[in-house]
Structure 1
């Protein structure tokens, strides 16, 4: 779940004259009639507490269980039947398609003397990888994953270039699954070598020092039919030599005494060392092993899981790390240190500052340190000994990404964007510090028509929480504005102001968009994160509820005009919020959410999340989980907000059984007339790799659902 979560997509156009639909308030949509859902008399005993689980059968894999598959078909029939009757939907999908249709560029990078970048012409289902000799030369298509499937559901999911520029290892993702198959291309012939690595998950291959093979982590092959549900255990590190079969790969590193450990590989740029970072959950607390590639044995450098030690680069035997450990105690806002593996000497390079340090990269002989100040990006440049050089200047408050490169680089590249500013790609000259604009997205939207502000509000316990609010200029604070509040609040992941076509469309429709920076996230360092974890998780829901109350109190909206949205851990957030305060919201969009907090650790990657959530195996943590678990806290005869749950059949991050069980229970308990629906995408996963067509269709469904339930009248001529 720590890998970033996205939202999904799908549906039909409305056969209805758009002009008549926009001329007046649309007619009410007929009520949904839900399918009957069978129950089973299943209970579990948790530390003396008996807990009923009448929808346990919905945990079964939809691809393997015909009863579950039939339930999915019946629910989709109801959901799509309801959504296609919403008169605004056709106009919304048309406008979303228009807005989405612009060239999208990734940040360029240089490998082996050539430049590479990702680009989407506008409505391509998947981004295409291009290459060019210089920044001015004509780009050539290197890999076009749109040719890999008719429906666009097979994606390019990662790249690893050999240091000599001769080979490219690339990942293939099918139907949104976390499983990856890695292949190798000869960059001189542009043909695949025939090498193939399977059962790779949460891992990217790394070329060995002489570019003859790849280090990578893989799990044992799961049992047939268990690929998308079984726990992921016993990852091992192998060396695959080009031109050989995967079955012949050399086992490099394993810890059979710790089957829950996972491993990432780094070969230092000078080819001197192989570094393995071991992890066992979502918390950035790592052990670090290394060996000299001259033939040395494995050495234990960081021998516990107490702190973050993220390998940055090396200078000979000096290893640079981003860490939250201080010389005596903690450095929760993080700092950069070196550890000399030859002498054991530790040296502070960049001290802990007043803002959280979220990432560091080495380019040439410079360190680019990325900070967050109230959830907006700041980047500072240092020499390798920690001498401050300069700040990177940005055009306003927003989010910057990039700043990659090699020891011999003279330049680096980055992207900058905000809620009302489409992504802009810059070249940064390392010698002068000058940024040159290379490309700016040409979106059919005028940023001058919108305004973005950052506000601060008090949560239930008095904690000061930031929130971004974006909308059209000239908004009247009269409590009548349809408003969408978004949140996440978990896994040390910060929410920062970035451009989104779907959010831009929502604001163009006349909606207010608000994004709250809740505890549990990474906006203010480890203390902020821990304040929203385990026994403190209720703080996250309190922060979100307080954000809603602030928007109402300040006149942005009202209970009748307020919708909430979140995905993955944010889906849990939405589910918990509507069970705790069903009176506060008119509509809810929980996506791919963790809804059964007592059993999440029994499936696929769920065991990693114990770091943030705790586990029902622990009596005290069980009590906290049971108190807010959305599935278990739905109550009979309560009028819940209109809810559109979204998930996908191939989600092997948060298995769809979470959403299935929550939807079934919500439909059974709900006493109001507002629709409570579930939309189940096919051949899609947790979000990554989802085709553009599916994304647009799903957002059209969600925005139409909100427009219908929040009483939104679209601007005249919208979508025409």
Structure 2
């Protein structure tokens, strides 16, 4: 089972086996009520027959009944997939290894998360000194019977005496914030509610903390109402939330979001304001002693991100005049604020910078792979950090006074390892390395480039077993993409994808436009009126994989989540002939109404405004819900979502699935899998994640001919 062997011709065997493919054709779908609902927009009548499925499943009994009936059909179908149980067992085995988060030092104490392998939620630990005995502080697995309540973030005071932590319930974006006394383990009475899209940062003296929140929602609106009037507060320890002080708000601009950080010297609060998802910020510096506020970056024209400060010199990264980002600084003592370049724009994309021990640690993306460079505060190169190979490195947080920092490294064939690094000496040592139930050297990570429709050169990562790579045979291939919001897809480990490769398949990640792999130009090339480039890039990736003999014509599966779910839905409509199967996860599927729910209004930076004619016509042209092609043979599609997703509300997936099932799309199934007590992805218990991965990959394996039974 799951040998590293080639499964050439598996698709033909499946079709030839008596009753095998016949049993897995599209089942009888549950009936979905269609309404005569339509909007007249810019002279065009746009039908929306399943609008009632936008209603909250927790409130609307008809929607809840629809979900139950859909899940019953889907569950029965997935249970019949040959080898699905063995796949789940193998994913479980591959997931069962000890995992650590990056440690954070505070007052000589080291705080970090650990999962023993199959714990549903990772546990927060503390050590007195680097080599001290681990002591458990917070175990989220004790918080709920179904383990769907997660530790969503934490921050120790500078002296390490207290820990601030956030609780996430059922996958929701909402957070409840509490405080623990580290010495005693006592949870203090301090409780903060209605926190969302917020940092958590202590005052350096530990007297209280800064956070951002929205107003409380009305009854029945918690998971669907638009989020406006984001406000920064300061909570003083030992006081009720009602006494919290407003630090920053913009009542005249309720659409803005505000993120607060305390400066390294503790004297200032840096508030970064944004109007959407685009990297265009206004930055305000607030004197903690006087409350005086000074706008240091006006206008929402460019990205400016705080790195740190030494005395009165503040360091930021920015794309102002540098599409691939650079590091700049200013001296607060100067009367007129003057920005000076410290590290100029390079040929590679600057992903982030940290200030540790008098050094600037810069993370670059070189064709979507990590390169880490160390500079002094004048911008002079010091050294590069040697990494184990092609992969992703991150972390490098620390104190301006100490030289110690930690970072992680991961790749498609290597689970996350944690390293301790000294910025003064350049010494790097392993802090936590996992012991896994496979040999990473049995797999090959390659990077290839292909040409998109308009001639653009696009990179993709190709991962296979050595046996498959050396055979040169075409095998079932899973192609993954995202393509939006300046988010870069970099190498990372997944037990479920490794199980796919163990079974003989290939895994490919396409770094299509819309992401941040090549800075602002790459992002701009795949958003707004350029959004079709994203779909063209992904389609071209699939065509390239077939043309180069990596996958057979009937062996290509596609997968994407969130904006990537939109990607899968759009390309399935545009090129249904190219793909054998697909998984559209928690996708944005109705491009004309996305801005009406929760965080959807932020996405206009990438998608445009549905109420503006030019944007409307562009959105309608690719909206998955509105472009299902009746009378066309479609790939087998499994739509996945969750009932508590308040990022991309599940109504998107509900409506899209109803449209698929109502159309004549051939013999392959169009199903939806709806998780309960789960959200957009974060905080999902390990057992639920494993079960979902087995369902999805089992489905994709069957319809691409990847045999899970051998």
Range into which the TM-score falls when normalised by the shorter chain: over 0.9
1:4 aligned residue? none
1:30-179 → structure 2 map (5 Å cutoff): 30-31=24-25, 32-179=27-174
TM-score, with structure 2 as normaliser = 0.95
1:515-554 deviations in Å (ceiling 9; x for gaps): 0000000000000000000000000000000000000000
> Given that residues 509 and 714 in structure 1 are in contact (C-alpha distance below 8 angstroms), is that contact kept between their aligned partners in structure 2?
yes
1:62-104 deviations in Å (ceiling 9; x for gaps): 0000000000000000000101111211111111111111111
In structure 1, how many angstroms separate the alpha carbons of the residues matched to 2:623 and 2:279?
A: 25
Q: Give the Å deviation of 1:420.
A: 1.3
Q: How many pairs were matched up?
A: 690
1:338 and 2:351 correspond = no
Q: Secondary structure at the match of 1:194?
A: strand
Q: Secondary structure at the match of 1:305?
A: strand
Shift of the 475–26 alpha-carbon distance from structure 1 to 2, 3 Å rule, reads farther
1:534 aligned residue? 528
In structure 1, how many angstroms separate the alpha carbons of the residues matched to 2:234 and 2:63?
A: 41
Match of 2:387 among 377, 382, 394: 394
1:196 and 2:191 correspond = yes
2:507 aligned residue? 513
Shift of the 715–436 alpha-carbon distance from structure 1 to 2, 3 Å rule, reads farther
1:408 aligned residue? 401
1:5 aligned residue? none
- Compare 573-582 and 142-151 and name the one that shifted more: 142-151
1:484 and 2:475 correspond = no
1:263-662 → structure 2 map (5 Å cutoff): 263-325=258-320, 330-343=321-334, 344-475=337-468, 480-662=474-656
> Given that residues 84 and 708 in structure 2 are in contact (C-alpha distance below 8 angstroms), is that contact kept between their aligned partners in structure 1?
no
In structure 1, how many angstroms separate the alpha carbons of the residues matched to 2:527 and 2:503?
A: 36
Structure 1: 5+ residue runs without aligned partners?
1-20
Q: Secondary structure at the match of 2:171?
A: coil
> Given that residues 485 and 565 in structure 1 are in contact (C-alpha distance below 8 angstroms), is that contact kept between their aligned partners in structure 2?
yes
> Given that residues 559 and 583 in structure 1 are in contact (C-alpha distance below 8 angstroms), is that contact kept between their aligned partners in structure 2?
no
Structure 2: 5+ residue runs without aligned partners?
1-13
In structure 1, how many angstroms separate the alpha carbons of the residues matched to 2:620 and 2:652?
A: 15
Shift of the 189–625 alpha-carbon distance from structure 1 to 2, 3 Å rule, reads same
1:153-205 deviations in Å (ceiling 9; x for gaps): 00000112212222111000000000000001111221111111100000022
1:676 aligned residue? 670
* C-alpha RMSD of the superposition: 1.4
In structure 2, how many angstroms separate the alpha carbons of the residues matched to 1:276 and 1:447?
A: 43
In structure 2, how many angstroms separate the alpha carbons of the residues matched to 1:164 and 1:117?
A: 16
> Given that residues 102 and 407 in structure 2 are in contact (C-alpha distance below 8 angstroms), is that contact kept between their aligned partners in structure 1?
yes
Match of 2:180 among 171, 182, 185: 185
In structure 1, how many angstroms separate the alpha carbons of the residues matched to 2:691 and 2:322?
A: 45
Q: Give the Å deviation of 1:715.
A: 6.5
TM-score, with structure 1 as normaliser = 0.94
In structure 2, how many angstroms separate the alpha carbons of the residues matched to 1:84 and 1:104?
A: 30
> Given that residues 640 and 670 in structure 1 are in contact (C-alpha distance below 8 angstroms), is that contact kept between their aligned partners in structure 2?
no
Q: Secondary structure at the match of 1:601?
A: helix
Q: Give the Å deviation of 1:396.
A: 1.2
1:249 aligned residue? 244
Q: Give the Å deviation of 1:422.
A: 2.1
Q: Give the Å deviation of 1:479.
A: 6.1
Q: Give the Å deviation of 1:475.
A: 2.1
Q: Give the Å deviation of 1:26.
A: 8.9
Q: Give the Å deviation of 1:251.
A: 1.6
Greater RCO structure (CA 8 Å; 6+ sep): 1
> Given that residues 510 and 714 in structure 1 are in contact (C-alpha distance below 8 angstroms), is that contact kept between their aligned partners in structure 2?
no
1:211 and 2:202 correspond = no
Q: Give the Å deviation of 1:294.
A: 2.6
1:283-331 deviations in Å (ceiling 9; x for gaps): 1111011122231411111111000010111122221110001xxxx21
